[in-house]
Amino acid sequence: IIKTVQMLEPTFGGINLEDIKAPECFEIEERLKETMNIPVFHDDQHGTAIISCAALINAVEIVGKKLSEIKIVVNGAGSAAISCCKLYVSAGVKKENIVMFDSKGCLHKGRKDLNKYKEIFAADKDRGTLGDAMKGADVFAGLSVGGVVSQEMVKGMAKDPIVFAMANPDPEITYEDAIAARKDIIIATGRSDYPNQVNNVLGFPFIFRGALDVRASKINEEMKMAATLALAELAKEKVPEMVIRAYEGEEFSFGREYIIPKPFDPRVLWHVAPAVAKAAMDTGVAKINIEDWDAYKEQLKERLGLSKEVIRVMVQKAKRNPKKVVYSDGEDEKIIRAAHAAVIDKIAKPILLGDEKVIHSILDELGYEKNGIEIIDPTKSEKREIYAQRYFENRKRKGVTLLEARQLMYKPNYFGPMMIDAGESDAYIGGLNAHYPTTIKPALQCIGVRDGFKVVSGLYIIIAKNDVFFFADTTVNINPNAEELAEIAISTAETVESFDIIPKVAMLSFSNFGSSLSPESRKVQQAVKIVKEKKPNLIIDGEMQADTAIMPELIKKDFPFSNLKSRANVLVFPDLNAGNIAYKLMARIGQAT
């Protein structure tokens, strides 16, 4: 391993080691650090250490104790446990106040089977069982296996106990058992479905970013501590709306259930990376220096990219509460692949419509498991008659007979939308093998328009470089009037807000603020007026030309009176011709996605 990694040095900026057991991992990392001039980092050790140490610093502060006085019991003596304890000591914990256990019991100086790394944390004498050691302890740190800590052990700990049950997937004690045992407890686990997740994703990507940006020759203890303190401080800052929305509106504030930032908090990048880079410079391991830290932080935000942030928010929301998604083209291989990916990524609960034998055959050919994918054949489903009756009730005064309703329910593009109407699915995806009108018409007839709105519109998310734009209406309304344009703008803005983005709406025309008056430009002017009356706090202006909307320097120079002071991200087109042509040109010529 050592020789292989050394050979990579000329073409790599840094090396992250994974899945190397102790004690070999210590020897390998030490040798590589001694012989190489680029950062080498064993994430299994140091990632967990940094995250848990940040959590420990904050937890101790919350309960009003001092790091130098707390007593810690650690279960597990592998690479992560030893690295955690080393960093805890660097943070201020006294080594003599740490008692460590491995699979054979307490590490103490009377044992002859300890390697030199375990000997560092060997106690003067045997402290008995894990339960014995935990009596009166302030902190328990578990890096071992699930279920080894009982409620009685937790009950025996000191006032305001801190429990880090970091074994995955099953913690040393479950969150439910821990809080049932002690109401004054602070508990962290490695799981995302409970508060205070200790997750390595908060560590090494951002540590390496800072190290690479100053061409650091190594990642030293000072850099690891800088990352630790940056994470600890970030947890004390006000949590932005984008993070709250990504976690289904759950409120977070510094306290017992929020001692470390959430794994998908984008701010970690521009808090941790600069801290690591500065520590590298201060300790003389950086080959280049950063002079303007504000500019550097802005560069980091740009590197993250709004497009990645939008996708990240969507994925995180989907994972937090996976929805049922029905696919009308369930026999298509592309759809089956998409459904399988949704299951693997845990972002949706797919329902495929089609012949069960055909779908199973394709799943077998692709080597996919059938678990997690529901298959419904509309021609055989017992729900077909229920949906037909429901559809008939909704459309009986619009020329639809019960016989026609029954015939339509054999078709996936009607059966699927009726599942949503009946509350048995949350979303519908169709149209892969059909024209757009053939797909949207059944959806409108079955589901209808949202309460409070009269118009349905088509929205495209356009990702161009690091920018995200929202184009509307691109698919539905051929020549909307002013009232319809206003409704399109409002509904689009609301959708954009759901992505944790502040909508800045430009109502487009061939005219700039009355420069060319015509019925077409006046229609857009009237739409802007309607929106401002209905949504006075929405950032919107127009009519304006497309380049004016996306070039703030033009607005500043020629139209300083405009409400838009920065680039618009929502572009509402005056008619379907303009919207449809624009998004297709962006896709083909502008290389947008």
Give residue-wise pLDDT tens across range 168-183.
889 999 999 999 999 9
Q: CA 455, 461, 467, 471: dihedral to nearest 10 degrees?
A: -40
Q: CATH topology of 64-197 equal to that of 459-588?
A: yes
> Is 70 exceeded by the pLDDT of residue 425?
yes
C-alpha 217/C-alpha 285 separation (Å) is: 6
Question: 514 is written with which tokens?
Answer: 């009355």
* 469-481 pLDDT per residue, tens: 999 999 999 999 9
- The sign of the dihedral angle between the CA atoms of 497, 580, 574, 508 is positive
C-alpha 275/C-alpha 269 separation (Å) is: 10
Helices and strands: H and E segment counts in the chain: 25, 17
* Chain centroid offset of residue 99 CA: 36
Q: If pLDDT is split at 50, 70 and 90, which confidence band does 592 have?
A: low
According to the model, what pLDDT value does residue 312 have? Answer: 72
According to the model, what pLDDT value does residue 243 have? Answer: 72
* 353-369 pLDDT per residue, tens: 999 999 999 999 998 98
Entry pTM? 0.61
- The sign of the dihedral angle between the CA atoms of 238, 244, 247, 248 is positive
Q: Hey, what CATH topology would domain 459-588 get?
A: Rossmann fold (3.40.50)
Residue 300 contacts by C-beta under 8 Å, 6 or more apart in sequence?
209, 269, 270, 273, 274
Question: 46 is written with which tokens?
Answer: 């140091």
According to the model, what pLDDT value does residue 303 have? Answer: 76
Top pLDDT among 537 and 263 is at 537
Top pLDDT among 382 and 589 is at 382
C-alpha 449/C-alpha 431 separation (Å) is: 19
Q: Which CATH class is domain 319-447?
A: alpha beta
Q: If pLDDT is split at 50, 70 and 90, which confidence band does 8 have?
A: confident
C-alpha 98/C-alpha 22 separation (Å) is: 20
- Helix or strand (DSSP H, E) at 468: strand 467-472
Q: Contact 310/501 with Cβ under 8 angstroms?
A: yes
> Is 70 exceeded by the pLDDT of residue 348?
yes
Residue 582: name the closest of 401, 494, 458 by CA. Answer: 458
Please give the DSSP secondary-structure letter assigned to residue 12. -
Please give the DSSP secondary-structure letter assigned to residue 573. -
Mean local confidence (pLDDT), 268-290? 94
Residue 184: name the closest of 164, 158, 165 by CA. Answer: 158
> Is 90 exceeded by the pLDDT of residue 512?
yes
C-alpha 573/C-alpha 462 separation (Å) is: 14
Question: 157 is written with which tokens?
Answer: 């700990």
* Chain centroid offset of residue 401 CA: 47
- In terms of DSSP bridges, do strands 105-106 and 98-102 run parallel, antiparallel, or are they unpaired? antiparallel
**Domain boundaries along the sequence of the chain:** 2-43+201-313, 64-197, 319-447, 459-588
Residue 517 contacts by C-beta under 8 Å, 6 or more apart in sequence?
511
Cβ burial of 145 (10 Å; 0-12, 13-18, 19+) is middle
> Is 80 exceeded by the pLDDT of residue 308?
no
Of the chain, the percentage scoring pLDDT greater than 90 comes to 69
* Chain centroid offset of residue 390 CA: 38
Q: Which residues of 407-426 are buried (b: 16+ CB within 10 A; e: fewer)?
A: ebbeebbbbbbbbbbeeebe
DSSP for 38-54?
S-EEEHHHHHHHHHHHH
Mean local confidence (pLDDT), 202-224? 91
According to the model, what pLDDT value does residue 249 have? Answer: 58
C-alpha 99/C-alpha 132 separation (Å) is: 11
> Is 70 exceeded by the pLDDT of residue 248?
no
Question: What CATH code would you report for 64-197?
Answer: 3.40.50.720
C-alpha 428/C-alpha 416 separation (Å) is: 6
User: In whole angstroms, how large is the CA radius of gyration of the chain?
Assistant: 29
